[in-house]
Structure 1
């Protein structure tokens, strides 16, 4: 496809107090070989100088400077809303990634050639070690979300285009037409599972979700919320149960029962055996709040 015929693409990056990592991510996008990128940083009231850094070093970037932390889902949704009407696609990602220079072009060329595709995901490697895969597309097993290729070395089995149940919001290209039809991330989730839930809504509206192995990026792990494992486990457990309730394609009664009766207890027992009681408690609290129909912030329900 001729460069001049490529449509404008939005890039949405959510940030909270990761100034130096955000800088590396923005430098990575500055090196992207694409004629019309419209980058939006949605900053959750960072106090580490992130907003000042963006204004000073990246004048081409549109900054949404929020006065308080909104959570990932809402901050990303506000950024999507700011750019969706002026672009044909939006690449939604995080502040802890590096991307290949040809990544956006490859994603857009595939989406342009396949109008039935609503979401296109990348081949994602760990930042360290850079030869290990983090995700080659997502699927559900026993009600739990998993990544193809996790911790594996790259190879032929991960080098084929694959239709997926979901692709991770660490980095995926969203068709603006699909977003206008189904909406953005579910803000009630705050953190975690919002990416899979959006993919499922787009699939249920008639579009395909596809993993494209030629589009590459690298992900730094254990940043921001992932450092607080009990709270991360709370959100991921609670939100995944809400997702299973909402989407029959992945949440049939037997599957939900397997997740509650096998997956969650196995994880809790493992954490107890390792002496990580707080992690097990995070899972239990996630189950409890799902049963109570609760969404929202962890801190709204627990004071520890």
Structure 2
């Protein structure tokens, strides 16, 4: 198998169905498979994916709990064809606008130093959407991208500029990550300690440390509708800071972490009088964004403990069409 495409579904089956349809309609590459990991959706939502079980080269795995982005993708990797040369981690709220898989495959075959790449995202209004990001640094947070670009233009290139040729970038955004299998396994895959957010920064940093390049291929386009399964609220905002401070604990010293904590506490705390949401969030950050308050620990399985799950592979007994 040349390519395994891994898609997560969480109570958003309509997006997943459209995403799969676009892959099948646009992809000219031979020997690819589609793996859908259901992150403990409601039974009715999972049932709407039943039609996909009849398609060739489509696998559907169901987790008993929501494993989050990193954990869900790692589950997908466990059932991917072991001979796959590349993995394409694609958000279910994306649709391919051309032969994205075939063209990124060809690009990676020609550029063997590249460990991860992506195409150019297009938003729902047919406008440019940034497809790469920067590593979180204090300089960027305090001084801004424009100032930091003066000192290090390669590291702080503009995310909103329209590029016309492949570019080395710091971080590939998580909506569409095309990854070389040898590079992914060299660095150990995704870190499942992340539940939501910062997984791509963590992965791209480890790939960089392993001497692999991350690149944007702007003439390959995909539509990113947005809002497939994560809705913004206080808990998801807290989840971002849980992930961010976990990332900082892995990669920064105590002094820098303390400065980050002070910066965000002041920045968000200044809005506290306008909205109690910000007051709660600032207090959460001041307490160190404790991981024990993660959404990971506030969920229940929608699978009956008496239902069989054989190798996590979806069977028709788990679906109500």
Query: Fold conserved (TM > 0.5)?
Result: yes
Q: Give the TM-score range, shorter chain.
A: 0.7 to 0.9
Q: Which of 25, 34, 44 is the matching residue for 2:39? A: 44
Q: CA RMSD in A?
A: 2.8
CA distance 1:204–1:269, shift in 2 (3 Å): same
Match of 1:76 in 2: 73
Q: Which of 135, 142, 149 is the matching residue for 1:140? A: 135
CA distance 1:94–1:76, shift in 2 (3 Å): same
Match of 2:247 in 1: 243
Pick which of 92-101 and 139-148 moved more: 139-148
Kept in 1, the 8 Å contact 2:70–2:194? The answer is yes
Matches within 5 A, 1:170-209: 170-209=175-214
CA distance 1:136–1:44, shift in 2 (3 Å): closer
How far did 1:139 drift? 0.9
Matches within 5 A, 1:73-112: 73-83=70-80, 85-112=82-109
Match of 2:13 in 1: 19
Match of 2:238 in 1: 234
Pick which of 30-39 and 172-181 moved more: 30-39
Cα-to-partner distance string for 1:260-296 (whole Å, 9 max, x where unaligned)? 33345324424x3542x22452354255344x5x367
CA distance 1:13–1:114, shift in 2 (3 Å): same
* 1:114 equivalenced with 2:148 (yes/no): no
Kept in 1, the 8 Å contact 2:96–2:222? The answer is yes
Cα-to-partner distance string for 1:33-75 (whole Å, 9 max, x where unaligned)? 2222210000012115343333314523200022232222211
Task: Supply the distance in 2 between the matched residues of 1:301 and 1:269 (Cα, whole angstroms).
Answer: 29
Kept in 2, the 8 Å contact 1:237–1:287? The answer is no
Task: Supply the distance in 2 between the matched residues of 1:33 and 1:125 (Cα, whole angstroms).
Answer: 21
Match of 2:220 in 1: 215
Match of 1:288 in 2: 287
How far did 1:177 drift? 0.4
Matched position secondary structure for 1:196: helix
Match of 2:167 in 1: 162
Kept in 1, the 8 Å contact 2:93–2:227? The answer is no
Task: Supply the distance in 2 between the matched residues of 1:242 and 1:298 (Cα, whole angstroms).
Answer: 15
How far did 1:190 drift? 1.0
CA distance 1:188–1:67, shift in 2 (3 Å): same
Matched position secondary structure for 1:63: strand
Tell which structure's C-alpha radius of gyration is larger: 2
Task: Supply the distance in 2 between the matched residues of 1:174 and 1:138 (Cα, whole angstroms).
Answer: 16
Task: Supply the distance in 2 between the matched residues of 1:217 and 1:70 (Cα, whole angstroms).
Answer: 26
Q: How many residues align?
A: 282
Task: Supply the distance in 2 between the matched residues of 1:181 and 1:191 (Cα, whole angstroms).
Answer: 23
CA distance 1:261–1:52, shift in 2 (3 Å): same
Kept in 1, the 8 Å contact 2:165–2:217? The answer is yes
Match of 1:130 in 2: 126
CA distance 1:49–1:149, shift in 2 (3 Å): farther
How far did 1:16 drift? 0.5
CA distance 1:96–1:264, shift in 2 (3 Å): farther
Unaligned segments of structure 2, at least 5 residues:
146-155, 300-321
How far did 1:111 drift? 0.9
Kept in 2, the 8 Å contact 1:44–1:68? The answer is yes
Matched position secondary structure for 1:211: strand
